[in-house]
Structure 1
Amino acid sequence: MNKMTVERIIPAWKWLKTYSLGDLQNDTAASLIFTIMVIPQSLAYAMLAGLPAITGLYASILPSILYSIFGTSRTLAVGPVALTSVMTASAILPFAASGSEHYATIAILLALMSGVLLLVLSLFRLGFLTNLMSHPVISGFISATALIVIIGQFKYLLGIESEGDTLIPLVTSLYRHLSETNSPTLILSIISIGSLLIMRSHFSSFLIKIGCSKHTVKLIGKSGPVFVVVFATLAVAILSLDKMGVSIIGAVPTTLPKIQLGNVTLAMVKELIPSTILISIVGFVGSVSVAQTYAAKHRQDIDPNQELTGLGLANIGSALSGAFPVTGGFSRTVLNAESGATSPMTGIITAVLIFLTLLFLTPLFFYLPKAILASIISISMMKLISVQDLRHLWRFSKKEAILLLITFFAVLIEGMETGLIVGVCLSLLFFLWHTSHPHIAIVGRVPGTEHFRNVQRFTVETHQSVLTVRIDENLFFANARILEERLQQVVSENKEVKHLILMCTAVNMIDASALQSLEKIFTRLADAGVQLHLSEVKGPVMDKLKDTQLLKELNGEVFLTQHQAIKALEGCQV
């Protein structure tokens, strides 16, 4: 196995060759800061997935190590993230009650299935399939999911019971139990949310005012939520708020969980396949987007297919850890980068530090109130609701803005899986409609140049007996008939035309249906006494056409450029 092959299979080999003691010192310091900040987030996202909060730490160890070795991003932090956590809960709830042993088993199975699916996609280099999810669909899906998550956290913020995973059942259930609100929990929630918002906006400024160095501010400027978590936990412990109805994490296991897949059936696996596909694809799309953003900043390369491998192994590692599906998260990666991470070694060191936390510091989580975790989740989710996206799309493309809204409301009303499927299907239908209605223009020569432009947009030179039609789309089954009808129309409207040039500048592909249509067009034009010519046909298209009956029987010519075609034909008087 040569050097290039090793680096392709194990990307860590590339950066480890130049890794120094100085790099290790920097990454250790960054990992310490990152670990302190990411622990509350991991606990919160496990709770969001419907699992014991400590599971979030299980999902932050082995997955982080495996991605650091097999992933291609130097900055991406892999672990529990909000979106995949809530999708996990949505996928499992039809099969088991949240908090049950069976629920945890299905979460492990989901992580395993997601990992295997991502590895299969990597093996067949199918990363391009994620391109089927357009930006409006992703934006509408994420915004609606974030809103559902925020509403779902109200039961923890108010200290009440509620059920449902879509908008109407959630709101109805919350309203029904609103009178049961626990006052200490509500007060703690209001103080926690207010403190988190103040810390997010002003903590760095406060550090600067008290004389902290820029380096210190950069290191701990984002760690404000950690202080809020510590103070909230101390308040619950000192004031015995748990005895007043404030829900806490409670005792956590001191050993890693045992994996029990005895209750898994083939029927269950089949029913989980749609959820597995959605969790895997959504997670991968988000992860690669974040990775490419940071790679561009540091002029590094990202290999999407190797990312599939890294994320696939990370999810298998999460399953082996008794946890749930993971991926690369935006907020997690921002924390990692701003902590000073310079290489994937931070992921490995962070995993070790979290493992040590599990072994020795879990008693500190006993009085951690669930309300503070719900507050962290709610504030994180608020950043994902993008009204600005809708405004931009409405100005740029109302069709795409409508697609965003349809996806948004479908997710709210029918659930994440249905909403995403509706959005993807509609985006594909919009694409097919667009390509089946190509822009077809009559063009003429811009005076004094060799350029040809649309007669409706420019002042151009035309010739009575020579008509040039430009099609701005590939020719395939969906638009072949449209081309036939349009050419027949323009010829019937221009009775003196003797030469019709089909300008193929934008045509990169012609399928069998389009070829058949071109042959029909040629026959009809010939019957009408009009010669058909082609110009600016691209090499790959010409390779497909050269042995066809169309070129063998064509009564016109194939010109290299449109300018040559006009020079040759505009003097012809047939």
Structure 2
Amino acid sequence: MPSSMYGRIKQYVPMLEWASVYNSNSFTSDAVAAIIVTIMLIPQSLAYALLAGLPAEMGLYASILPLVAYAIFGTSRALAVGPVAVVSLMTAAAIGNLGLTSPSDIALAAVTLAFISGVILIAMGVLRLGFLANFLSHPVIAGFITASGLLIAASQLKHILGVDAHGHTLVELIFSLIDHRDMINPITLGLGASTLAFLFWVRKGLKPALLNMGLAPRTADILAKAGPVGAVVVTTLITFLFDLSSYGVKIVGTVPMGLPPLTTPSFSPALWSQLLMSGVLISLIGFVESVSVASTLAAKKRQRIAP
């Protein structure tokens, strides 16, 4: 194979470049990183699926293939891929506008929306449109992510309070929560608030506490990263042992075992016309957010990314 052609292929398959120099030391570090990512990804993926209005197990399914694909085609060592909060929220909004009620129709719409977004991102990659990221304003990106975070937090208050509040905007959500204030479940509120407080403490306080106990820095780091999983395990046991579901505490329910059967997206022109604009926006926002995060992390290690 001519060197020029091989070099061009490596641009699209970066794995060919680093695989030849991969060694056991890199594997050890990557194995530790993989454990940490897996520990973090389990509760996050479940939460992101619920945020998108989909069954919890879909978050787990959506977390597998992106990691494998990015290991082959990814161009940045600083970027983590998988379900994210902003895209999950946009997915919920796009599917919610369709007015679907059947779980199978909602799942098919989600698969179709993901397919549309993926095709757009692949087209952007083939056309080498990553340079557009150079024209993005950091204040605009920061403002968008901050606003999205506020909207996401507000949309999850109904779960912490145990009420059925609805709304597409921050103002609508707040007024809906106020209207349903008499329906607050104190047990749900206590469980949610205590878990939230624990997670805030884990973020800053658990690792120093473990180091003071004499644990090795790497072990302390892994255990600190496992804090969210510990919160899930403990609250699950509490809910089961005290049968809190009978007191109005909503539970995820049964998560199917194994992998689901492969499903093709819908190619209905009517559905595509309804989802196309949402797919474009999700692709652009996902790209912008990924580049922003990767650039920030890469700058800390004096690295560059190739968007």
TM-score normalised according to structure 1 size: 0.50
> Is residue 111 of structure 2 the alignment partner of residue 113 of structure 1?
no
What percent identity do the matched residue pairs reach?
44
Distance in 2 separating the partners of 1:8 and 1:262: 29
User: Which stretch shifts more, 150-159 or 268-277?
Assistant: 268-277
Q: 1:232 is matched by which residue type in structure 2?
A: T
> Is residue 67 of structure 2 the alignment partner of residue 102 of structure 1?
no
Which residue, out of 237, 240, 244, partners 2:240?
237
3-state secondary structure, aligned to 1:17: helix
> Is residue 129 of structure 2 the alignment partner of residue 126 of structure 1?
yes
Distance 1:260 1:286, change over 3 A: same
1:19 Cα shift? 1.2
Q: Are the counterparts in 2 of residues 42 and 57 from structure 1 also a CA contact under 8 Å?
A: yes
1:261 Cα shift? 5.5
Match of 1:40 in 2: 43
1:468-500 Cα offsets, whole Å, 9 max, x none, are: xxxxxxxxxxxxxxxxxxxxxxxxxxxxxxxxx
Distance in 2 separating the partners of 1:147 and 1:177: 20
Which residue, out of 54, 57, 61, partners 1:54?
57
Distance in 2 separating the partners of 1:167 and 1:25: 45
> Is residue 212 of structure 2 the alignment partner of residue 206 of structure 1?
no
Count residues with an aligned counterpart: 304
> Is residue 8 of structure 2 the alignment partner of residue 18 of structure 1?
no
What are structure 2's unaligned runs of at least 5 residues? none
What are structure 1's unaligned runs of at least 5 residues? 305-574
Which residue, out of 88, 93, 114, partners 1:90?
93
Alignment of 1:75-224 (within 5 A): 75-97=78-100, 100-130=103-133, 133-224=136-227
Distance 1:294 1:144, change over 3 A: closer
3-state secondary structure, aligned to 1:152: helix
Alignment of 1:79-478 (within 5 A): 79-97=82-100, 100-130=103-133, 133-258=136-261, 260=263, 265-304=268-307
Match of 2:76 in 1: 73
CA RMSD of aligned residues (A): 2.1
Q: 1:92 is matched by which residue type in structure 2?
A: I
Distance in 2 separating the partners of 1:263 and 1:87: 19
Distance in 2 separating the partners of 1:157 and 1:40: 16
Distance in 1 separating the partners of 2:291 and 2:55: 28
1:98 Cα shift? 7.1
1:59 Cα shift? 0.9
Distance in 2 separating the partners of 1:201 and 1:69: 34
User: Which stretch shifts more, 63-72 or 2-11?
Assistant: 2-11
Distance 1:209 1:70, change over 3 A: same
1:294 Cα shift? 3.2
Q: Are the counterparts in 2 of residues 51 and 98 from structure 1 also a CA contact under 8 Å?
A: no
Whose strand fraction is larger, Structure 1's or Structure 2's? 1
Q: 1:268 is matched by which residue type in structure 2?
A: L
Q: 2:62 is matched by which residue type in structure 1?
A: A
User: Which stretch shifts more, 6-15 or 89-98?
Assistant: 89-98
Q: 1:144 is matched by which residue type in structure 2?
A: A
Whose helix fraction is larger, Structure 1's or Structure 2's? 2
Distance in 2 separating the partners of 1:65 and 1:102: 28
Q: 2:150 is matched by which residue type in structure 1?
A: L
Distance 1:11 1:98, change over 3 A: farther
1:147 Cα shift? 1.4
1:229 Cα shift? 1.7
Distance in 2 separating the partners of 1:64 and 1:262: 21
TM-score normalised according to structure 2 size: 0.91
1:99 Cα shift? 7.5
Distance 1:118 1:97, change over 3 A: same
Distance in 1 separating the partners of 2:12 and 2:290: 19
Larger Rg: 1
1:36 Cα shift? 1.5
1:166 Cα shift? 0.8
Distance in 1 separating the partners of 2:276 and 2:256: 31
3-state secondary structure, aligned to 1:114: helix
1:60 Cα shift? 0.8
3-state secondary structure, aligned to 1:78: coil
Distance in 2 separating the partners of 1:195 and 1:63: 30
1:509-568 Cα offsets, whole Å, 9 max, x none, are: xxxxxxxxxxxxxxxxxxxxxxxxxxxxxxxxxxxxxxxxxxxxxxxxxxxxxxxxxxxx
Q: Are the counterparts in 2 of residues 10 and 69 from structure 1 also a CA contact under 8 Å?
A: yes
3-state secondary structure, aligned to 2:180: helix
Q: Of the two structures, which has the highest relative contact order with CA contacts closer than 8 Å and spacing of 6 or more?
A: 2
1:145 Cα shift? 1.9
Q: Are the counterparts in 2 of residues 50 and 98 from structure 1 also a CA contact under 8 Å?
A: no
Q: 2:293 is matched by which residue type in structure 1?
A: V
